Structure 1
Amino acid sequence: MFSLRSLKLKTRMMLILGLMALLQTGLIGLFALGYLSHSLDEQIGQRALHVAKTIAAIPEVVDAVDNRDSEFLQTLTLELADINDARFVVIGDRNGIRLAHPSWKRLGKPMYDDDGDYNEPALLYGKPYIQKAIGSLGASVRGKAPIFDASHENVIGIISVGFMLDTVEGIIDRYRNTLYMVIVLSFGLSVLTGLWFASHFKKAIFGLEPEQIGRLFQERNATLESIREGIIAVNGEGNITTFNRAAIDTLGLDANTKLTGRPIEEVLPDSRLMDVLRTGTPQIDKDVWLQDRNLIVNRLPVLQDGSITGVVSSFRRKDELDAISKKLSQIEQYADTLRSQSHEYSNKLHTIAGLIELGANDEALALIGQETQSHQALIQLLVEAVPDPILAGCMLGKYNRAKELGLHLEIDPESSMKEIPDHIPREEIVSIIGNLIDNALEATLKNQRTDVRLSMTDLGNDLIFEIEDEGSGIPEHEQDSIFRKGVTTKQGEGHGFGLHLVEKLLQKLGGTILLEPTVHKGSRFTVYIPKARATINN
């Protein structure tokens, strides 16, 4: 079964525009021809009536009719018909009997023989009128006027002037032929216009057919709804054009809210989409607060022919990402702790096995008891002072790492870190403390010393951590640049990133870090992290 959908867009456009052109020009043409025919009939009728009234007013005609001078009237009417381009001029008496006619044979016969008209309006009531009829000479438009006597009181005859309708038909035919040409030209122009428009339109829609666009639109909607990230897009005027259900849920908006077509600044006053729309600068993985929610946001401009036509933003709640990150951090810390413990206890077991083989059983038992007591004391301290498993796991792992290196990580037994606010990401604290402890271990080992000290407290308005090493210290002229990316006192590549990361994380949390020399000529790093939520530029 034939269907327009089976045709290409260009073919459809040509057919539709061509048919529209045919329909429009056909209807307009029919109206024009009908109006023209009516107008010509009216004009010719008025002309015939005017000629008839003019002839009826000629004194010689009045006298000839009164005297029934057919010879004079016959000659005169032929001349008048020729002068006025009329097909005929017929004169009758008061009874409608012909006194003049183009055909001599019809003289003396009643005028109604031609058209069945008894000429009553003119003969009985003295009124001129127009008539269309088919007579002995063919179809014509006639103007009929009464002939009054010299006193202008009595009707003594009638004048009938006729113009043949074939003249009108000839004019209509000429216009009809012109109309046919216009219709053909309009159809051709419409086809060419359809070709041009379809080519331009298909270029704008990347050569796709309408059905393909429809399928892509459905796939796009299904894809948007299947994505767990919130998606919002705006056009060049900043009005929302696209959004998905995840966007409404993530931003905590009313599920019945109508977003399409609304200005983004009306729905989300704190959004920075308009900044991207103005500047065209993308924003990737921005940590923002929006609608009282901490989000990770990406904002990308939509470019078309080098111009910014809109912005697309994807976002997800940070706590969801933090949950995944937290799990990864826990696994990493546990793996690090197990690795360190495995390595350390492997060495201890070898030592105990050697003492037993040498028969030094008492020494082996003492070593076992000492190790058990030391490890239990550390675990007890961490359980009481650091309830958070992620932070405690980090410290236990660093403690075992220090033992691997032959160093000792001393954790202040008076430490307390029990009141960490929920909004402070644990993995960021772990990253800060872990990097500082690693640096302290490396500096102490390089200076051939053994002790690294860690103390912490959650009293007051800040979380405070102190990491003290027994390294060679940091010269005063380098202290201002030590936190820059790539700046390091270590040899080789792959260094100079830890302290830079620490500073960036503290800036995000609104915290600070202080660097001081110690009595052992090493360095003390003091970290302050405010418990209050930091103000984040969104």
Structure 2
Amino acid sequence: MRPVPRTLAGQAVALALTVVAAIVVAGSVLAAVDARVDGDRAARNEVTAVAVSLADAPSTIAAVTSPDPAAVLQPVTEQVRATTGIAFITIMAPDRTRFTHTDPTLIGKPYIGNVDTALRGQVFTETYTGTLGPSIRTVAPVRAADGRVVGLVAAGITQRSLSDGWWSQLPLIAAIAAAALGTALLGLWFLRRRLIRQTGGLAPDELRVMYEHHDAVLHAVREGLIVTEAGRAVMINDEARRLLALDASDRSSDDDRRTDHAALPEFVTDGSDTIDDTLYAVHGRILVVNRSPVPDRPRSAVVTIRDRTELSAAMGELDSMTRFAETLRSQAHETANRLHTIVGLVEMGRGDDAVRLATTELELSQHLVDRMTQAVSEPTLVALLLGKTAQAVERGVSLSLTEDSQMNDAATHGLTPGEVITVVGNLIDNAMDACDPTDPWVEVTVVGHPGELRIVVADSGPGMDRELFTRALERGWSTKGGGDRSGRGLGLALVAQVVARHGGTLTAENSYGSVITVTVPAPDTRQGSPR
């Protein structure tokens, strides 16, 4: 049998039982000692009251000075003794000769005990061993009318009587102690059962190791993890704090309840529904969020977060490049067809027709390139616009660069060529997806001023209201191939990420069509440093 319980519940109950038993035993001992002290105090008060009352009684004074004091006083003292329950009442002469005694054979014999203080007219109490054994006795003087001490009254209670009274109280004290201990045992038994259920019957060392491993895993895992209870985060690991840009200074080592819950996004605080692999744009990051509600606990859930920022950006750029490559392939196909036609015309001897066909297509292409190059000198953006124009022709969409467009190489205001492709390419793709099929058109305006870069993409689609546009920026909806056609998908989230990184703005309005406007200020006019 184990000398010390193994489980935390057993050790806690054993410790509590030891403390309770010690308290009960100590309380019982103190109660017994207190009963003994109270019995002695009560005995002293009682014998003093009896002795003083008899000494001050006029009948006692008269009897002491009578010819036969014993005949008068013995019946009186025995009656008082029987009434009060004290052991003895002895009335004596100043020379110690007894007038009364419990044992009548001792009347007339000298009193055994101290009387000097009483002879001096003072009442005193002492513990003394007399003919009845050890006793607590009080001796009071009997004074005549002139103040002389004409007799003494001694009243006492034997220690055996006091002990009998004290022992008679011990069963009650023991019963109370046993009841208290039994109640404590019952309560500790219920406490043990609850602790075993809560701790799974594990030992303290096992719980400590489990907690340390659990804490280490939670804060080391490269996936954000948040546990919410009643809409409040009770556990946020380090990766979740990094992804949600939470300030780590308000976090203690083992308590996440001090987190500023107002800074948490809605998908954390609202734990009512299940979320599966849903994209959200939060603080310039594209996050994949999963949320599993806790059964039978309202607004309580486990939320996991994964970072897809770089992957989403790469996928967006890859999508743009893929479409660009498809456009170039289609152009190459069309060019090959025209070249075969021209060769055929030459072989047929119709050289003039071949020259006319070749120069006409060349003039149209060159005119488009010259016009876009003149308006926008950024070669990456020109190439993107040419590719999107060819792609729009294939899809039956009229894509045009407005006459207001004007931008040179220096007007990108910090945007890299890849970021320019991400912003313009995604806006054009979204516009072509959303434009009205009965009248499909898209207009692009790119204006680069010394103070800002402004990109406006308009289409013939129905557009989005402010609430839907805000949700589209926060959530990375993927709407291609079905679903909510009003959402602009992951492309808008990527655009918003680039714009936010450079301190710009992204707005939507419905005027002559659905109009999306991106404004990027010059680096020297931004509030703070670019992120």
Per the normalisation by structure 2, the TM-score is: 0.64
8 Å CA contact retained: 2:17, 2:185: yes
Counterpart selection for 1:463 from 451, 455, 464: 455
Quote the offset at 1:531 in angstroms. Answer: 1.3
State how far apart, in whole Å, the 2-side matches of 1:327 and 1:232 are: 27
Counterpart selection for 2:137 from 139, 142, 147: 142
Q: 1:454 to 1:258 in 2, by over 3 A?
A: closer
**2:315 matches 1:328:** yes
Paired residue for 2:96?
96
Greater alpha carbon shift after TM alignment, 11-20 vs 337-346: 337-346
What does 1:45-84 correspond to in 2, within 5 Å?
45-59=44-58, 61-62=60-61, 65-66=64-65, 69=68, 71-72=70-71, 73-74=73-74, 77-84=77-84
State how far apart, in whole Å, the 2-side matches of 1:428 and 1:368 are: 35
State how far apart, in whole Å, the 1-side matches of 2:167 and 2:338 are: 123
**2:17 matches 1:18:** yes
8 Å CA contact retained: 2:8, 2:203: no
**2:114 matches 1:118:** yes
Paired residue for 2:175?
181
Quote the offset at 1:140 in angstroms. Answer: 2.2
8 Å CA contact retained: 1:285, 1:297: yes
Quote the offset at 1:169 in angstroms. Answer: 2.5
Counterpart AA for 2:84: N
Greater alpha carbon shift after TM alignment, 229-238 vs 160-169: 229-238
Q: Give a deviation string over 1:280-305, Cα, whole Å, max 9, x none.
A: 7999866567xxx8897989899796
Counterpart AA for 2:164: G
Counterpart AA for 2:41: E
8 Å CA contact retained: 1:232, 1:242: yes
Paired residue for 2:35?
36
Paired residue for 1:165?
159
8 Å CA contact retained: 1:231, 1:246: yes
State how far apart, in whole Å, the 2-side matches of 1:53 and 1:246 are: 89
Counterpart AA for 2:376: A
8 Å CA contact retained: 2:241, 2:247: yes
Paired residue for 1:127?
122
Per the normalisation by structure 1, the TM-score is: 0.64
Paired residue for 1:531?
519
What does 1:290-309 correspond to in 2, within 5 Å?
306=297
State how far apart, in whole Å, the 2-side matches of 1:408 and 1:269 are: 45
State how far apart, in whole Å, the 1-side matches of 2:379 and 2:168 are: 100
State how far apart, in whole Å, the 2-side matches of 1:31 and 1:463 are: 90
Counterpart AA for 2:431: L
Question: Aligned with 1:94: secondary structure?
Answer: coil
Quote the offset at 1:268 in angstroms. Answer: 7.9
8 Å CA contact retained: 1:273, 1:311: no
Q: Give a deviation string over 1:394-417, Cα, whole Å, max 9, x none.
A: 5465466568x5989876597556
State how far apart, in whole Å, the 1-side matches of 2:489 and 2:7 are: 64
State how far apart, in whole Å, the 1-side matches of 2:490 and 2:315 are: 22
Q: 1:296 to 1:153 in 2, by over 3 A?
A: same
The runs of 5 or more residues in structure 2 that have no matched partner are 470-479, 497-505, 522-531
State how far apart, in whole Å, the 2-side matches of 1:49 and 1:440 are: 115
Quote the offset at 1:275 in angstroms. Answer: 12
Paired residue for 2:7?
7
Counterpart AA for 2:115: N
User: Identity percentage over the alignment?
Assistant: 16
Q: 1:323 to 1:63 in 2, by over 3 A?
A: same
Q: 1:169 to 1:145 in 2, by over 3 A?
A: same
Quote the offset at 1:529 in angstroms. Answer: 0.7
State how far apart, in whole Å, the 2-side matches of 1:392 and 1:229 are: 40
Quote the offset at 1:122 in angstroms. Answer: 0.7
Quote the offset at 1:433 in angstroms. Answer: 0.5
Q: 1:430 to 1:321 in 2, by over 3 A?
A: farther
Paired residue for 2:509?
512
Counterpart AA for 2:37: H
Q: 1:442 to 1:462 in 2, by over 3 A?
A: same
Counterpart AA for 2:517: I
Quote the offset at 1:181 in angstroms. Answer: 1.5
Paired residue for 1:433?
428
State how far apart, in whole Å, the 2-side matches of 1:258 and 1:347 are: 63
What does 1:359-438 correspond to in 2, within 5 Å?
385=376, 387=378, 395=385, 398=388, 401=391, 416=406, 419=411, 427=422, 429-437=424-432
Counterpart selection for 1:156 from 128, 140, 150: 150
Q: 1:162 to 1:430 in 2, by over 3 A?
A: same
Question: Aligned with 2:488: secondary structure?
Answer: helix
State how far apart, in whole Å, the 2-side matches of 1:129 and 1:243 are: 79
State how far apart, in whole Å, the 2-side matches of 1:80 and 1:409 are: 130
What does 1:156-305 correspond to in 2, within 5 Å?
156-199=150-193, 205=198, 211=204, 214=208, 217-219=211-213, 221-223=215-217, 225-226=219-220
Q: Give a deviation string over 1:467-517, Cα, whole Å, max 9, x none.
A: 7xxxxxx9xxxx7599999xxxxxxx94585565289959983123566xx
Quote the offset at 1:184 in angstroms. Answer: 1.7
Q: 1:382 to 1:409 in 2, by over 3 A?
A: farther
State how far apart, in whole Å, the 2-side matches of 1:232 and 1:505 are: 27
8 Å CA contact retained: 2:463, 2:486: no
Question: Aligned with 1:159: secondary structure?
Answer: strand
Q: Give a deviation string over 1:80-138, Cα, whole Å, max 9, x none.
A: 433432222223322334443333554555433xxxx4222112x21112222333312
Question: Aligned with 1:456: secondary structure?
Answer: strand
State how far apart, in whole Å, the 1-side matches of 2:110 and 2:481 are: 127
Q: 1:428 to 1:186 in 2, by over 3 A?
A: farther
The runs of 5 or more residues in structure 1 that have no matched partner are 468-473, 486-492, 516-524, 534-538
State how far apart, in whole Å, the 1-side matches of 2:383 and 2:181 are: 82
State how far apart, in whole Å, the 1-side matches of 2:288 and 2:146 are: 103
Paired residue for 1:489?
none
State how far apart, in whole Å, the 2-side matches of 1:234 and 1:439 are: 38
8 Å CA contact retained: 1:21, 1:183: no
Question: Aligned with 1:131: secondary structure?
Answer: strand
State how far apart, in whole Å, the 2-side matches of 1:505 and 1:201 are: 53
State how far apart, in whole Å, the 1-side matches of 2:379 and 2:485 are: 23
Quote the offset at 1:144 in angstroms. Answer: 1.5
Greater alpha carbon shift after TM alignment, 69-78 vs 172-181: 69-78
8 Å CA contact retained: 2:442, 2:457: no
Quote the offset at 1:39 in angstroms. Answer: 2.1
Q: 1:425 to 1:173 in 2, by over 3 A?
A: farther
Quote the offset at 1:178 in angstroms. Answer: 1.4
